[in-house]
Amino acid sequence: MGMMIAGYYLPAAMAGIYVKVDANGVYHFTNVPTTSGYRLFIGDRSSKTSKRALVAYTKDPAQFEHLIKRYAKQFGVDPNLVRAIIQAESGFDPFATSIKGAQGLMQLMPETAKDLSVQDAYDPEENIRAGVRYLKQMLEKFKGNLSLAVAAFNAGPRAVQQYGTIPPYKETKNYVKKVLTYYHLYR
Q: What predicted TM-score, i.e. pTM, was given to this entire model?
A: 0.70
The residues carrying an active-site annotation are 89
pLDDT of residue 27: 65
- Tens digit of each residue's pLDDT (9 = 90 or more) over 12-64: 444 567 677 766 666 677 777 777 677 766 655 444 434 444 444 456 788 89
Torsional sign, CA 39, 135, 156, 176 = positive
Domains in the chain: ranges and CATH: 3-58 (no CATH), 61-186 (1.10.530.10)
